[in-house]
Structure 1
Amino acid sequence: MDTSKDEYNKENRALLLTKQPDFHILSMKDFKVGHEIGKGKYGRVHLATNKSSGYIVALKILLKQELKHDKLLRQLEREVEIQGNLNHPNILKLYGYFQDEKRVVMILEWASLGTLYAQLKRQMRFVEKQASRYIAQIAKSLKYVHERHIVHRDLKPENLLIDKQGVLKLADFGWATYVQDFTKQVKLNISLKTNGYNTHNTHYSHFKYSSSLKTICGTLDYLAPEMVKRQSYNEKVDVWALGIICYELLVGVPPFESIGFPLTIQRIVLDEVMIPDYVSKEARDIIIMLLQKDPINRPSMEQVLNHPWIRMYNKSSPQNSTQTKLTKTIITNINYNNC
């Protein structure tokens, strides 16, 4: 399928103003699947159109054969549960999912301008006004997830998408997990482990929220010191990663990038960040504030959003994309603890 941006604007904008599609009970036959727009270790992402509504989405197609390892299945279940219950203009929407005997298919919002990483590579680095606006939007998405006791754990430019209106979207919750000590009861209506089409057994699941995370996950250049030292950590690892991204948007490369794994880890743990002279005093200040080695000293997202460098360029909120109604899908009995 060759869908132009003009067609995207015309069809999706009209749908957003009228009745939006119900993605609750679907299968592959309900979509006209187009070209591949991305791929990962365990699946591929295709542009697709819902046949009945004409609504354009991204389908993340995962092969069950490659997800047989129990930890991978648990990770996918958690990703769907977390992202499917988030509803924020700066978070990529998961409308729902369906499955057949061979595949699990996630129905995702389509961000037509691609990744922040791709834009950064084209421009080499951003002017401070643009960088500040992107950091503000990331901070808003993190504030939202942190308030819900969720830590993303894989914040990087490749996992930040941009829609047609230039609104930034936090994506890929594959490493996201819960933090804090309390139990939440969630009503579920689909079992990921079934082999059939669209099973709808309603049941309840209890999720254990952990206050002590230890798993090393994410991408090396963005990992916080406490994570690479295998210490317990919390949502402050996302704050560190935001600091790395802030530096990278202004300079063009991550601050501790080195040749080889051991040297990169050494620099993350021991080195102070060296900021070029062309970076303004205000931008320098927020980078240093975010990249504190001790997580206790890192700011909250509320503090980030009130920083002078953010307020200087974000006097009005970025344009919000219209969100579709949250579709409840999700999971079977899982206990997530220290993972």
Structure 2
Amino acid sequence: MLTATNKNKMIPAAKMQHRGGDSELLRKHACLNRMQIPSHLPPPTIVAASSQVANSSDAETSAAVARHLELHLGLFEIGRPLGKGKFGRVYLARHRTSGYICALKVLNKDEIKRERAEMHVRREIEVHSNLRHPGIVGFYGWFHDSRRIFLILEYAAGGELYKTLQKEGRFSERRAANYIAQVALSLIYLHSKNVMHRDMKPENILIGLYSELKLSDFGYSVHAPSNRRDTLCGTLDYLPPEMLQSDKPEYTKAVDQWTLGVLTYEFLTGEAPFEDTVAMTHRRILKNHMKPLPASLSPEAKDFVHSVGDFTPILIL
């Protein structure tokens, strides 16, 4: 499931190309509850919700199923597109009855089946529906019809952090430090839940109403109590060496810590530390050789980048 991007296209590994609002107020007034359907129930179509509630009572199970069946597209007014993903689009939406503003992620079932990504979508719903943190985009529910799956998500008014970074070129050290601190707190929460994100990048970090950062897109995330995984997935520029060292990699949640170092470098310079052709990027990562940091950066900033990612600042010629 390894993919690379050119910042607006995701493609399979076999054809990989290199990549070139008040949340608390909304949460209090949300009329939509997260739905957690026990795994022992048959999935509605190609989607099932969290297996972590499999011990729910029959009454709780019936209530959860009822909430799921009550949701449908007619409950929402659909607004402008907010973004585009591999299997569909994300739209601004408003719940007609309450006026609640949210984001509606619409996934196409035929595309999911064609890519054999049913488990990918199941896992996204299972993981995301069990997360609740200010630094993570809220998950409020899901439903489906004959052709599509709909995820009801928190609306992040500031959009993708990637677009802000592209517009400004790079961030100041103070701003980069603030952003990395927020992402680190979200990671601490994820790891406390035994969840690996595995695809952190500026496109998957959203900006809330008050400029707070929120992790999003949990399609590659996994609940791993054993802290051991062996699936090659994510975006090439952000992958750690242990994911690329063999056909059957083995790694821990430390992969997210490596990505935190990559993000820090990108925030400070405007580009990823190993970005090059596909082959050269792969080689740089395996040898742990990033592009040199600008001399204008403070010693503290350089030390942080090197210590978080354990990078060696040597340019491959």
Secondary structure class of the residue paired with 1:104 = strand
Secondary structure class of the residue paired with 1:68 = helix
1:132-147 to 2 correspondences below 5 Å: 132-147=177-192
Separation in 2, partners of 1:128, 1:135: 10
- Which of these residues, 282, 286, 289, is aligned with residue 269 of structure 1? 286
Work out whether residues 34 and 48 of structure 1, in 8 Å CA contact, stay in contact via their aligned partners in 2: yes
The verdict on how the C-alpha distance between 1:287 and 1:14 changes in structure 2, with shifts beyond 3 A counting, is closer
Identify the residue that residue 144 of structure 2 maps to in structure 1: 99
Identify the residue that residue 220 of structure 2 maps to in structure 1: 175
1:209-224 to 2 correspondences below 5 Å: 211-224=227-240
Secondary structure class of the residue paired with 2:83 = strand
- Which of these residues, 261, 267, 279, is aligned with residue 243 of structure 1? 261
Amino acid at match of 2:78: V
Work out whether residues 225 and 293 of structure 1, in 8 Å CA contact, stay in contact via their aligned partners in 2: no
1:22-77 CA-to-partner distances (Å, cap 9, x unmatched) read 35431100000011110111011110100000011000001111122584111111
Unaligned runs of 5+ in 1: 1-7, 182-210, 295-339
Work out whether residues 240 and 258 of structure 2, in 8 Å CA contact, stay in contact via their aligned partners in 1: yes
Separation in 2, partners of 1:53, 1:136: 35
- Which of these residues, 229, 237, 242, is aligned with residue 226 of structure 1? 242
The verdict on how the C-alpha distance between 1:85 and 1:133 changes in structure 2, with shifts beyond 3 A counting, is same
Q: Give 1:213 shift.
A: 1.5
Matched residue count: 254
Separation in 1, partners of 2:268, 2:286: 22
- TM-score, scaled to structure 1: 0.71
- Which of these residues, 110, 123, 131, is aligned with residue 78 of structure 1? 123
1:208-246 CA-to-partner distances (Å, cap 9, x unmatched) read xxx432221111110101111132011111111110010
Q: Does 1:22 align with 2:32?
A: yes
1:261-320 CA-to-partner distances (Å, cap 9, x unmatched) read 1111111111433221111111111110112269xxxxxxxxxxxxxxxxxxxxxxxxxx
Amino acid at match of 2:117: L
Separation in 2, partners of 1:15, 1:255: 37
Separation in 1, partners of 2:153, 2:127: 14
Separation in 2, partners of 1:15, 1:267: 44
Higher relative contact order (CA 8 A, sep 6+): 1
Separation in 1, partners of 2:24, 2:122: 31
Separation in 2, partners of 1:15, 1:113: 15
Identify the residue that residue 78 of structure 2 maps to in structure 1: 33
Output the aligned Cα RMSD.
1.9
**Residue identity (%):** 41
- Which of these residues, 143, 164, 168, is aligned with residue 209 of structure 2? 164
State which drifts further: 273-282 or 152-161. Answer: 273-282
- TM-score, scaled to structure 2: 0.76
Q: Does 1:109 align with 2:154?
A: yes
Identify the residue that residue 52 of structure 2 maps to in structure 1: none
The verdict on how the C-alpha distance between 1:32 and 1:263 changes in structure 2, with shifts beyond 3 A counting, is same
Amino acid at match of 1:268: I
Work out whether residues 138 and 154 of structure 2, in 8 Å CA contact, stay in contact via their aligned partners in 1: yes
Separation in 2, partners of 1:14, 1:155: 26
Secondary structure class of the residue paired with 1:35 = strand
Work out whether residues 156 and 245 of structure 1, in 8 Å CA contact, stay in contact via their aligned partners in 2: yes
Separation in 1, partners of 2:252, 2:26: 40
Secondary structure class of the residue paired with 2:259 = helix
Work out whether residues 204 and 215 of structure 2, in 8 Å CA contact, stay in contact via their aligned partners in 1: yes
| Runs of 4 or more above 4 Å deviation | 12-17
Separation in 1, partners of 2:220, 2:137: 15
1:73-123 CA-to-partner distances (Å, cap 9, x unmatched) read 111111111111100000011111011111110000000111111010011
- Which of these residues, 193, 210, 223, is aligned with residue 148 of structure 1? 193
Amino acid at match of 1:223: L
Work out whether residues 269 and 293 of structure 1, in 8 Å CA contact, stay in contact via their aligned partners in 2: no
